[in-house]
Structure 1
Amino acid sequence: MTQTFNSAATPESAPHALSDDDVQAVDELRGAYARLREELGRVIVGQREVVELLAICLFARGHSLLMGVPGLAKTLLVSKLAETMSLKFSRIQFTPDLMPMDITGTDILQDTGDGRRAFEFIHGPVFANVVLADEINRAPPKTQAAMLEAMQESRVTAVGKTFTLDAPFLVLATQNPVEQEGTYPLPEAQLDRFMFLIELDYPNTEQEEIDIARSTTGDALPTLDHLMDAEEIIRHQELVRRIPVPDHIYTYAARLVRKTRPNHPDAPDWLRPLVAWGAGPRAVQNLILGAKARAALLGSYMVRLEDVQEVASPVLTHRVITTFAAQAEGTDAKAVVRRLIEEADTER
């Protein structure tokens, strides 16, 4: 029997509504997000979808992998996002000789001022609110693991001590899809720690290219207004967790993820020869969290089916591992996920 999904919750599956205070908070977040888009638009040309996904990731307490060729303003976008949020920004350029202590910090022998010396821990660049891990696949696995521990645990272990990172904490790691020589690709288990894979593409139109050239070859870029601080962001992150989700949305997300697994009975026949490994339970969690954050940013008081569908591709693409047969056909994970979403939409 075919399962159908409706965009509106049935009375039996409808979750508890938001309180009046939370409704007001959602309205405030929607207004803040509109101002954020407008403010970033002063220096970033286009990339509206990327801005939305970054905002979703921030308010859902996730991390993202940014994929795009050089020159697409990844560093500028991330630094300006941190600027508008009054957050501490740090950029780490990953290289093959980068050691874990280079990002986490280490003890240094210092003069105490009374003629003695003592070790003092010097914080590394990971101690920031927004960290841009540039070309993370160029660092050796040991250094990648130190970065991923910070992402997963929001803490750092160095010289036998544990240090908690300040909230909010957002890691945006970039990979260059063009030049893979001399790199250490992230294993699938580590890729799964990223909430989203956000792909940045070339400018859509010739006018966008012209606008980019005009804005970056003249005077210095404008200083953006500070729209909120860390305390407000944390409050909005807590609000996102309270956004109601109807039961049929949970069912839709779980079934969509289960269909990505080639050995599962629900997987379509066409998928089995194309996919080696499907997405795990963390994908369902991130679909729901991403949908909650998107609903709140757009001023919705309940998660809708379209919220899940809009975040499905960035959540699932890096979690679906294709076979050699798929690569020979020119079929990538993004195409597989897109077809699954389209088929799920026709079953509604």
Structure 2
Amino acid sequence: MNDPDSLEGIPAPEVRQESLGHEEARDAVAAQLQAGRLPGAIMLHGPQGIGKATLAFELAALILTTTGDEATGRVQEQVAALSHPNLAVLRRRPKDSKSFYSAIRVEDVRELRESLHRTRGRVGHRIAIIDSIDDCNGPSANALLKTLEEPPSDTTFFLVSHRPGGLLPTIKSRCHVLALRPISIRQVAEVITVTTPNVSPALLERAGDLAKGRPRRAFEMLALGEESPVGVLIEWLKHPGMHPIAAEIALADQLGKDPQSADMSFARELLSDWIAAEMRQAALEQGGRARLASATDLWDKVHALFEEADSVNLDMKQTLIVIFDSIRAHCALSAVPEPL
């Protein structure tokens, strides 16, 4: 149990070591490696689930092979097993046999820093992957900053971030920043078929459409099954104002039964994506200020409601009903076709 964000049956990033897309970022690091000018820290940022961690491990294997004295296959095997002596990985640690800590702790960062200042285990460059830097709390982020300010020699940090806007500016300033974008629908389909080759064409197409360039989301959708209420939510979001209230309540009841379920997690992402799409559409629309203001208020309200429900364990069904009503009211105020 190494990765707190792992999906059952899906190879972890360190095992896969082969990302699709992201050619510009990959080529940039490869060029720096060949020129002998690897930065002390590289931040890979972009939406969650597009392959940032996979790219980090792919580049780690490349750097360890190029600067070391072992064959590519041998290095890749050690990276996959997280056993290469010149590779360190920092993630949220297991709390017990079934759960992980909610954050990367300051003692975890200090342990990493101490290990990097010991005599290296093998010839060549050293790599430290932080997956993800967003999981650091205040004390651990400050401890990591001290390490980045005085990095060990011949060491490169890869910082994976889904939300770089929430990071300390001083951490970002210490990194060579590479922005990664969602990959193409064709590439998402290729990732899926390599791992789950028996997916039906219809289900593959649906997963690719919903993924929006994020293979992780496609895998999550496939894991839900055809009877998932998420499918009902997808149809509801196409025209929120055209469904009866009873259907809305029934949907909230189905999704809200288990706030920790995969269905609910996926539903939250879908709702966030819908509002974000509405904000983008309103921003591009001539005379769309009122619609944008309404969508922005909706974004703040929905996320505040979810945070409150999480923090004080409120009834998720009631939270969803309020959210659905708010979306319906926004669409009525906008008086324009809904996105998606």
> Same fold, TM exceeding 0.5?
no
**TM-score category by the smaller chain?**
0.3 to 0.5
TM-score, L = length of structure 2: 0.37
Structure richer in helix, relative to its length: 2
Structure richer in strand, relative to its length: 1
Of structures 1 and 2, the one with the larger relative CO (CA 8 A, separation 6+) is 1
